Structure 1
Amino acid sequence: MSRIGTIFSPYPHPPEQLRDAARAAEDAGVEELWLWEDCFRSSAWAAAAAALAVTDHLRIGVGIAPLPLRNVAASAMEVATIERMFPGRLLPGFGHGVQDWMRQVGAKSASPLTLMHEQLPALRALLAGETVSAEGRYVKLRDVALDWPPAQAPLVYAAAEGPKTLTLAGAVADGVILDSRHTVAEIATAVDAVQAGRAEAGRAGRADVVAYVLTAFGPGAVERATAALGDREDAVDRVLAGSVSEVAEGVARFQAAGVDDVVLLPTDDVDLAAFISAVGQVTVAVPAAGGVS
């Protein structure tokens, strides 16, 4: 089933504003609130737990936490603990991390693809309650098992951008997170690469696809949204902007391209409460715009 979410960005918003944003999202009927862990702003897992604790139904996505920052066993413990406390409401995502930041903290891997290839299968196995041993380049585990695995393992997402990472994400993750600033056609190509990677790995079903889309509502929306893209001639094709109904029509186009979860990313200068309210209205309007509810 297709979903619509929004984002709490750690750039204009300090951690103490997250609880109010999470409550506002739930009150507005928004299904998912996504956040991420950029160095050196706020912890993804502490923030996710806090947002889940002040809401009853809202799902919280972590899109993403950097793989190199933590041993895979520590990541499994973080995810399992939150999942057991708030079953079915955490959407954990991981990625390579910004390489300059990883170098800055002494965690840069020589091969981010190898790191993802080793970490994500081990993480998924640990969350499934398995005992894992591995002797890879980056993941070295000896009969490791969680004492408190989740009753049901959550989907594990990978952030992906380039062709190799998109294919790998399809092979080793349960879902993929696609960053903003892409056209619908580019997203469709990425979706095809992810699903092909899953099929080549012999995995049944589809990978769940999450796509961020830079969005603005109301007067001057197009100008505000495209300003973040600089002077790109096709900037208007890389954002959603306008009235609730116009944004809903755009969401429907991304859904038709194979996106399961269209996540509306606000511009930094927005009134977050007003933006969240508008996202809730989009959720209601999308079926009328030809999208999937």
Structure 2
Amino acid sequence: MTTLGAVLRPQLPPERLRSVVRTAEESGLDELWLWEDCFLESGIATAAAALAWTERLRIGVGLLPVPLRNVALTAMEAATLHRLFPDRLTLAVGHGIQDWMAQAGAKAASPLTLLDEYTAALRALLRGERVTTEGRYVRLDGVALDWPPATAPPLLAGALGPRTLRLTGRVADGTVLDAHVGTEGVREALRIVGEGRAEAGRTGDHAVVSYVLTATGPGAPERLAAELEHEGISAVPDVAVAGDAQAVADAVRRRAEAGAGTVVLQPTADEPDPEGFVRFAAEEVRPLVG
């Protein structure tokens, strides 16, 4: 069965978080996804609040930009949340937007090397291992968590280009594909991820999360067209959907058929009714997806 989620974009101020989170919980949404975008809101702080305000809703953070975060600190934060709220959190890490990383004085000369070293160390720490490593970017000397998760959680990584996609197949437990990737792009991405998994001899499940730019209600086509133009992806086939619940459900099914296990509806940045968007996803689209 396809997992259906929605994004609460950080263009909303933090004080709007509780209302949207409570709506997601009460309407029966499968997952609510949060972003750690510069310089808007923290992914960990918002995830902690969202988990504390709910009882069953799963929260995804897609993604934490690794150049900004010491891996030991991320491991501590992740382990704390996983122990406080077992089986309700999905974390993804990634390169981050390079211009933002440069603004923060954290841009890496080799983002791929950093993500490789970081993901390996973070997964080991969350498994409860004592880690010593002297990499180009990640350096740990006998670091182990006193309170690791009771069960090692899956760790996802965001990817867009082929080298990063192959890396996520090698070192991560899943891949997050952003809203610039259309349905055929999902298929191609999974092919490349599969190459990475084969190189590493990895078997078993590999989670795939696909974002779909979505608009519904009055002015939906115009809002979506403006967003696509702003993002420079107007020419990408089947990258977005505007319309009623049936149109959106059909788009979700196409992503699922392409290989996405989780499909996350991403509203436009100027979505006029975030609570209504979440309710629409849960109450109108979810029953049509199956």
Q: How would you bin the TM-score normalised by the shorter chain? A: over 0.9
Partner of 1:171: 170
Give the 3 Å change call, closer, same or farther, for CA 102–232 of structure 1 in structure 2.
Answer: closer
Partner of 1:7: 7
User: Residue 212 of structure 1 contacts residue 263 of structure 1 at CA under 8 Å; is this kept in 2?
Assistant: yes
| TM-score normalised over the length of structure 1 | 0.94
Give the 3 Å change call, closer, same or farther, for CA 212–232 of structure 1 in structure 2.
Answer: closer
User: Residue 183 of structure 2 contacts residue 237 of structure 2 at CA under 8 Å; is this kept in 1?
Assistant: no
Measured in 1, the distance between the counterparts of 2:123 and 2:288 equals: 36
Measured in 2, the distance between the counterparts of 1:254 and 1:166 equals: 17
Partner of 1:265: 266
Moved over 2 A (4+): 218-224, 231-237
Measured in 2, the distance between the counterparts of 1:131 and 1:70 equals: 19
Deviation at 1:235, TM superposition (A): 5.7
Partner of 2:228: 229
Letter of the structure 2 residue corresponding to residue 246 of structure 1: A
Identity %: 54
Partner of 1:276: 278
Measured in 2, the distance between the counterparts of 1:177 and 1:235 equals: 18
Deviation at 1:237, TM superposition (A): 2.4
Measured in 2, the distance between the counterparts of 1:209 and 1:85 equals: 25
User: Residue 213 of structure 1 contacts residue 265 of structure 1 at CA under 8 Å; is this kept in 2?
Assistant: yes
Pick which of 200-209 and 70-79 moved more.
200-209
Superposed CA deviations along residues 159-197 of structure 1, whole A, max 9, x for unmatched, are 100000000011111111111033211111112111221
Deviation at 1:233, TM superposition (A): 5.8
Partner of 2:113: 114
Partner of 1:73: 72
**What root-mean-square deviation, in Å, do the aligned CA atoms of Structure 1 and Structure 2 show?**
1.4
* Superposed counterparts of 1:7-46, under 5 Å: 7-11=7-11, 13-46=12-45
Letter of the structure 2 residue corresponding to residue 275 of structure 1: F
| TM-score normalised over the length of structure 2 | 0.95
* Structure 1 gap ranges (5+): 288-293
State the aligned residue count.
Answer: 286
Letter of the structure 1 residue corresponding to residue 195 of structure 2: A
Letter of the structure 2 residue corresponding to residue 52 of structure 1: L
* Superposed counterparts of 1:1-293, under 5 Å: 1-11=1-11, 13-230=12-229, 234=235, 237-270=238-271, 271-280=273-282, 281-287=284-290
Letter of the structure 1 residue corresponding to residue 285 of structure 2: V
Measured in 2, the distance between the counterparts of 1:181 and 1:226 equals: 14
Deviation at 1:232, TM superposition (A): 6.0
Measured in 2, the distance between the counterparts of 1:180 and 1:33 equals: 16
* Structure 2 gap ranges (5+): none
Superposed CA deviations along residues 135-172 of structure 1, whole A, max 9, x for unmatched, are 11111111111000000122111110000000001111
Superposed CA deviations along residues 72-117 of structure 1, whole A, max 9, x for unmatched, are 1111001000110000111111111111221222211110000011
User: Residue 48 of structure 2 contacts residue 81 of structure 2 at CA under 8 Å; is this kept in 1?
Assistant: yes
Measured in 2, the distance between the counterparts of 1:185 and 1:240 equals: 15
User: Residue 158 of structure 1 contacts residue 177 of structure 1 at CA under 8 Å; is this kept in 2?
Assistant: yes
Pick which of 192-201 and 152-161 moved more.
192-201
Measured in 1, the distance between the counterparts of 2:96 and 2:52 equals: 27
User: Residue 181 of structure 1 contacts residue 229 of structure 1 at CA under 8 Å; is this kept in 2?
Assistant: no
Measured in 1, the distance between the counterparts of 2:46 and 2:243 equals: 31
User: Residue 101 of structure 2 contacts residue 107 of structure 2 at CA under 8 Å; is this kept in 1?
Assistant: yes
User: Residue 65 of structure 2 contacts residue 95 of structure 2 at CA under 8 Å; is this kept in 1?
Assistant: yes
Deviation at 1:219, TM superposition (A): 4.3
Deviation at 1:240, TM superposition (A): 1.6
Pick which of 229-238 and 254-263 moved more.
229-238
Pick which of 148-157 and 181-190 moved more.
181-190
Deviation at 1:224, TM superposition (A): 2.3
Measured in 1, the distance between the counterparts of 2:69 and 2:171 equals: 18
Letter of the structure 1 residue corresponding to residue 266 of structure 2: L
The DSSP-based 3-state class of the residue aligned with 1:108 is coil
Measured in 1, the distance between the counterparts of 2:269 and 2:234 equals: 22
Measured in 2, the distance between the counterparts of 1:54 and 1:213 equals: 26
Letter of the structure 2 residue corresponding to residue 126 of structure 1: L
